């Protein structure tokens, strides 16, 4: 059993459901990211773990202990809020010391640990400042230090980087990950930025409309998505509707017959998922492919294609200057191909949310 | 800009400061039973006010009632203000109107309401007698308690509205962060909410204390003839005794105490949590 367990956790607000049912098992020292579109219930789930939102169904277990009815202050969680939520009337050092004070840590030990925590987030020179005298990134690090210093059983982060500029975001992302690994903290992080989730977390939970769609490593989700939602949400993906006619033979709804991976799925209505980087094109016609648009992105180039009535996106490394592909222009006929094993079949009909 | 502000400024000055200056001049005059007021420059009225045990008692009563009422108002007002500030949606405007409602009723009308509630033939005594709990009506009216109740009911909306405006500015998440770090609700209040609400506590208390010091209707109607506070005493000097100089001196003593106490009080309170 993991050190944080969510057992069939759900939350309803009147008639609307914020979180339908979340089952999750986070191991000791593991970092799990909750990922999903806006309004899918990530924050609500996190706040149920912290105890700010009483669940309407299910249980929360921390270290094997059922804390579903335990008030927030008696749960051993350390939370970093999106808005940082520093105490505006306390100095940096006082902010960081607050949790230790609540735990009745002696003054001497408190001072040592506060200094240590501030050194960890590289803020040791600013301990006497007030939060309003700090930059956003510095406030962010105070919030981190304040939550880390008490060495919580569960570390919770709600979009901790969303108020930072792009450059700082990259740095702090690395810092958080390094600290989390060094201290071996069991961590749940909420984000709607998939790059953030992919780079920081050991495992990801993709949520949609209050439900968990898939749990797995970045590799699992990218290479073996369980359904079209996950395939489309994590990275970019061509999702083509149609039906499986025979093993390896997919008939798109536009009529084109496309090669696909051998699949145990029974013939019938389904969706073909094909990553754009797996689509290759060559100059010269086979009669079916046509180039509609080219977007040059430096190291990569995007090709918007049409394959016998089916729109398709290909992303390739930008070809060298003497490559014939470089001379293609919109409207040209091209030959489109892919490795059949790269085209995965996914169930078409998504189970509707709501029981 | 200056041209726009000037006429209003002059008007305010005339309306507010001129009567005060006039009153101060009067307080330095002498009183003669035959001639009423005699032009003079003497501090005798002030000496009399602080030396006469009767007026000293009136001042002490006023200070005690004002301080007690202010503290009681703060105690009752803070939880209500917090509740109001944290309320959401359409109930909030409704609750705000309910809180402001007493302000729509004049002081005298409200005091009359208390009379109807607390008097010998009032609602409470009628109920107690009717139920046979008491044989004789309880003396609920004409005591300090009745005056304090009357005052608190008048000033409570000011306190609540002042406090809730400040509490609304305290981020909800700061409270959540504190409780996440292990602070019990009481500790969250003591360490986060109260210090951050302090400007509101000071502003509300000063406002309410000033109103309490100058209580008139509640003191006269609910305290009865034996109960004396400063504002009614000033009125008595002007209207009944026709002793304008002494009345003016009493008024300035009241003003002085109010001013000094609010300044000192808020400075001390501010120092406690100064950052
Ligand atoms: N207090 C509330 N009352 C009613 N509905 C709520 C409440 N809090 C959240 N919801 C609803 O629950 C759903 C999930 O909200 P939540 O804040 O968990 O989303 P989220 O995944 O964190 O989204 P975002 O990425 O935009 O932060 C939303 O539809 C939201 O409107
Ligand atoms: Mg959110």
The string of DSSP letters for B132-146 reads: TS-SS----SSSHHH
In CATH, B43-274 is 1.10.3720.10: yes
Ligand 1 site, residue A41, Cβ cutoff 6 A: yes
Strand arrangement of the beta sheet that strand A16-26 belongs to: A65-66, A57-62, A4-13, A16-26, A211-216, A203-208, A31-35, A187-191, A154-158, A77-80
The closest residue, in CA terms, to atom 30 on ligand 1 is: A39
Q: A134-177: per-residue pLDDT in tens? A: 998 899 899 999 998 999 999 999 988 887 778 878 888 888 89
Ordered by start, the domain boundaries in chain B are 43-274
Indicate the top mutation candidate among A13, A33, A354 to test ligand 1's pocket, ranked by most ligand atoms within 8 A of CB: A13
In this model, does residue A231 exceed pLDDT 80? Answer: yes
In this model, does residue B14 exceed pLDDT 90? Answer: no
The tally of CA atoms less than 13 A away on the side-chain side of residue A135 is 6
Q: Taken in order B32, B37, B38, B42, is the CA torsion positive or negative?
A: positive
Coil, helix or strand at residue B202: helix
- Give me the CATH topology for the region A239-347: OB fold (Dihydrolipoamide Acetyltransferase, E2P) (2.40.50)
Ligand 1 site, residue A191, Cβ cutoff 6 A: no
Q: A243-273: per-residue pLDDT in tens? A: 888 888 888 888 888 888 887 766 668 899 9
Nearest to B176 among A85, A86, A102 (CB): A85
Nearest ligand 1 atom, CA A192 = 25
Judged by CB atoms closer than 8 Å, whether chains meet at B180 and A79 is answered as yes
Q: Which residue of B has its CA nearest to A103?
A: B182
**Complex ipTM, two decimals?**
0.82
Task: Considering only the C-alpha atoms of chain B, give the largest distance between any 2 of them, rounded to a whole number of Å.
Answer: 75
Nearest ligand 1 atom, CA A159 = 27
Judged by CB atoms closer than 8 Å, whether chains meet at B178 and A98 is answered as yes
State in Å: Cα B170 to ligand 2 middle: 21
Q: Kindly list the residues from chain A whose CB atom is less than 8 angstroms away from the CB atom of residue B185.
A: 73
User: In this structure, are strands B30-32 and A289-297 parallel, antiparallel, or unpaired?
Assistant: unpaired
In this model, does residue A352 exceed pLDDT 90? Answer: no
Q: What is the pTM of this model?
A: 0.82
For chain B, say whether A96 makes contact (Cβ under 8 Å): no
Ordered by start, the domain boundaries in chain A are 4-223, 239-347
Q: Cα(B217)–Cα(B221) distance, rounded to whole angstroms?
A: 6
The DSSP letter of residue A318 is P
Taking an 8 Å Cβ-Cβ cutoff, which residues of chain B contact chain A? 171, 173-174, 176-185, 187-188, 191-192, 195-196, 273, 275
Output the CATH code of domain A4-223: 3.40.50.300
State in Å: Cα A39 to ligand 1 middle: 5
Q: How much of chain A, in percent, has pLDDT values that exceed 70?
A: 96
Tokens of A71: 């008030």
Indicate the top mutation candidate among A40, A83, A162, A213 to test ligand 1's pocket, ranked by most ligand atoms within 8 A of CB: A40
3-state secondary structure A29-54: CCEEEEECCCCCCHHHHHHHHHCCCC
Q: B222-240: per-residue pLDDT in tens? A: 888 888 899 999 999 888 8
């Amino acid at each position: 059993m993991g050190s944080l367990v969510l057992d069939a956790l759900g939350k309803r607000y009147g008639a609307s459901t914020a979180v339908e049912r979340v089952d999750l098992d986070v191991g000791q020292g593991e970092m799990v990211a909750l990922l999903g579109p806006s309004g899918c219930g990530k924050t609500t789930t996190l706040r149920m773990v912290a105890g700010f939102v009483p669940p309407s169904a299910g249980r929360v277990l921390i270290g094997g202990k059922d804390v579903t009815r335990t008030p927030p202050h008696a749960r051993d969680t350390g939370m970093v809020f999106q808005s940082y939520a520093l105490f505006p009337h306390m100095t940096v050092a006082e902010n960081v010391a607050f949790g230790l004070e609540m735990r009745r840590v002696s003054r001497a030990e408190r001072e040592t640990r506060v200094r240590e925590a501030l050194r960890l987030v590289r803020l040791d020179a600013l301990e006497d400042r007030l939060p309003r005298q700090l930059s956003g990134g510095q406030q962010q690090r105070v919030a981190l230090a304040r939550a880390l210093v008490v060495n919580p059983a569960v570390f919770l982060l709600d979009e901790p980087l969303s108020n930072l500029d792009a450059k700082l975001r990259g740095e702090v992302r690395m810092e958080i990950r390094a600290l989390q690994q060094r201290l071996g903290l069991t961590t749940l992080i909420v984000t709607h930025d998939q790059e953030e989730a992919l780079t920081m977390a050991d495992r990801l939970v993709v949520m949609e409309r209050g439900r968990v769609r898939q749990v797995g490593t970045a590799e699992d989700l990218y290479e073996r998505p369980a359904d079209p939602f996950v395939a489309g949400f994590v990275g970019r993906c061509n999702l083509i509707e149609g039906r499986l006619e025979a093993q390896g033979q997919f008939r798109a709804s536009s009529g084109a017959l496309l090669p696909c991976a051998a699949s145990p799925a029974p013939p019938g209505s389904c969706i073909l998922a094909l990553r754009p980087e797996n689509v290759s094109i060559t100059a010269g016609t086979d009669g079916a492919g046509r180039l509609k648009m080219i977007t040059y992105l430096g190291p990569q180039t995007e090709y918007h294609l049409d394959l016998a009535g089916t729109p398709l996106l290909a992303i390739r490394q930008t070809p060298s200057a003497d490559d014939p592909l470089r001379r293609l222009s919109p409207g040209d006929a091209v030959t489109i191909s892919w490795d059949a094993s790269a085209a995965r079949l996914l169930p078409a009909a998504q189970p509707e949310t709501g029981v | 800009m200056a041209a726009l502000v000037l006429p209003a400024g002059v008007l305010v000055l005339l309306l507010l400061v001129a009567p005060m200056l006039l009153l101060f001049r009067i307080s330095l005059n002498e009183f003669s039973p035959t001639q009423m007021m005699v032009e003079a420059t003497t501090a005798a009225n002030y000496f009399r006010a602080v030396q006469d045990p009767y007026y000293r008692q009136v001042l002490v009563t006023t200070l005690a009632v004002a301080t007690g009422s202010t503290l009681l108002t703060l105690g009752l007002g803070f939880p209500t203000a917090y509740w109001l500030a944290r309320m959401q949606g359409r109930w909030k405007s409704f609750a705000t109107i309910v809180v402001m409602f007493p302000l729509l009723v004049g002081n005298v009308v409200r005091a009359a309401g208390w009379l109807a509630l607390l008097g010998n033939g009032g609602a409470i005594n009628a109920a107690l007698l009717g139920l046979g709990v008491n044989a004789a009506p309880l003396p609920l009216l004409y005591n300090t308690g009745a005056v304090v109740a009357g005052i608190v009911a008048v000033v409570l909306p000011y306190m609540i509205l002042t406090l809730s405006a400040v509490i609304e500015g305290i981020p909800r998440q700061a409270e959540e962060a504190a409780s996440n770090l292990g602070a019990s609700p009481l500790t969250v209040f003591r360490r986060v909410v109260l210090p951050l609400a302090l400007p509101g506590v000071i502003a509300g208390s000063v406002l309410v204390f000033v109103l309490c010091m100058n209580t008139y209707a509640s003191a006269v109607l609910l305290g009865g003839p034996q109960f004396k506070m400063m504002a009614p005493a000033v009125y008595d000097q002007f209207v009944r005794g026709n002793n304008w100089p002494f009345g003016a001196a009493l008024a300035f003593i009241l003003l002085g105490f109010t001013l000094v106490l609010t300044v000192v009080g808020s400075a001390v309170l501010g120092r406690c949590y100064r950052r």
